[in-house]
Amino acid sequence: MAVLEQTDVAVYEQVVVLLSCALSALGSVLVVSTYALWPDLRTTPRQLLLFLSVADFLSAVSYSYGVYKVFNASTWDCVTQGAVSTFSNTSSFFWTVAIAVYLYIFIVQSSQRQADSLVLYFHLIRQEGENVRPTNLFLSLSLSWGVPLAITVAAVSLQKIGYDASEVSVGWCWISIEEDDHVLWMLLTGKIWELLAYVILPLLYILIKRHIHKAHAALSEYRPILACNRLSHSIPAMADRKLTLIPIIFIALRIWSTVRFVLLLARSPVGQNPVLVTLHGIGNTFQGAANCIMFVLCTRPVRARLVAWLCCRSHEALSNSDMQSQFTARTRSLSHSDGRSGSQTEVDESEDEE
């Protein structure tokens, strides 16, 4: 039985992390909305980013509930919140790696067909007639939804998810700190995948950047990527290149969670440092907002479309408001005219009677 040393979560820490959750949820919705609004942006990397955003949205919602409640016991809602965050957080790891693998195949090996075929395995869905033979690495990545779900079901069934005294969280529930094998389950439900991502993502990212650097001297290597009609594919191409920044965002945000986990293993009180706790809370909840900033707000073609769409909607609302105002003014004018006519009629009738 582990000794509980609860980490106090200050009100300002709650406010900061809740704001991060709100921004992440909003950012994830914005990524999904841009994918739904414009069909020509529905490239395979954008589709993978869509699934990553769904996982990040679930994480933000579940974490926000935990931060708001700041659990102090393994209640039913604590277990539910912990299960949802475990599934979505682990899925986020897998989808982030899936995007890096796709980009590596697509850019470095210049094989769009092979890269697109991997998406079937990322979903555990194989269409009839498809003859795809992925390597063991791709098969391990094929369970981007299945592995997190299986791990979460196992953890819930064995009653491993519960109150963790905020030793490796910021108010929310994860693996019960009272379990003797809590370290093992922390590894299985997130940390081992997080550590693997720290190794795989930088490696693939470096290989991709090296290839892009060499391509400046040999543009013929980009024939499978560059289309004949550059204008029609310029926006997706720019978005695809920016997707290589996802590993950097991932590591910069997730490192604080790993640091607190290591400090927990070392039984160091530094893990309860308010600054570290706040960074942990932001890092675990802000990825959806970070992806939105990079691939919507900081991607000029997408940003231009979004601004134009919002302006169009505002113009339509303003036009409708003007029409309503004009209609109201006309109605009042007619009513006022009818009133004056009625008064004049009454005066005329009284004069006739006199």
pLDDT of residue 179: 84
pLDDT of residue 262: 92
| pLDDT of 127 strictly over 90 | no
Which tens digit of pLDDT belongs to each residue from 143-182? 688 889 999 999 999 999 999 888 888 989 999 988 888 9
| pLDDT of 129 strictly over 60 | no
pLDDT of residue 111: 53
Residues in the chain: 354
Highest mean pLDDT among 81-90, 202-211, 224-233, 311-320: 81-90
Average pLDDT of the chain is 76
Phi, psi of 175 (to 5 degrees): -90, 130
Q: Which residues contact 255 (CB under 8 A, 6 or more apart)?
A: 283
* Average pLDDT value for residue range 209-233: 55
pLDDT of residue 345: 45
Residue type, 322: D
Q: Are 204 and 96 in contact (CB under 8 A)?
A: no
Highest mean pLDDT among 172-181, 298-307, 314-323: 172-181
pLDDT of residue 140: 40
Q: In the chain, what are the domains?
A: 11-121+136-218+245-314 (1.20.1070.10)
pLDDT of residue 161: 94
Taking every pair of Cα atoms in the chain, the longest distance, rounded to a whole number of angstroms, is 108
Q: Are 44 and 116 in contact (CB under 8 A)?
A: yes
| pLDDT of 69 strictly over 80 | yes
Give 150 or 46, the one with higher predicted confidence: 150
| pLDDT of 68 strictly over 80 | yes
Residue 17: both structure tokens together: 């992390």
Give 68 or 40, the one with higher predicted confidence: 68
pLDDT of residue 102: 81
pTM: 0.75
Side-chain-side CA neighbours of residue 90 (13 Å): 28
Which tens digit of pLDDT belongs to each residue from 257-276? 999 999 989 988 888 899 99
Q: How far is CA 142 from the centre of its chain?
A: 20
| pLDDT of 2 strictly over 50 | no
Q: Which of 18-27, 206-215, 257-266 has the lowest mean pLDDT?
A: 206-215
For the chain, what is the HEC assignment? CCCCCCCCCCHHHHHHHHHHHHHHHHHHHHHHHHHHHCHHHCCHHHHHHHHHHHHHHHHHHHHHHHHHHCCCCCCHHHHHHHHHHHHHHHHHHHHHHHHHHHHHHHHHCCCHHHHHHHHHHHCCCCCCCCCCCCCHHHHHHCCCCHHHHHHHHHHHHCCCEECCCCCCCCCCCEECCCCCCHHHHHHHHHHHHHHHHHHHHHHHHHHHHHHHHHHCCCHHHHCCCCCCCHHHHHHHHHHHHHHHHHHHHHHHHHHHHHHHHHHHHCCCHHHHCHHHHHHHHHHHHCHHHHHHHHHHHCCHHHHHHHHHHHHHHHHHHHHHHHHHHHHHHHHHHHHHHHHHHHHHHHHHHHHHHC
* Average pLDDT value for residue range 31-57: 86
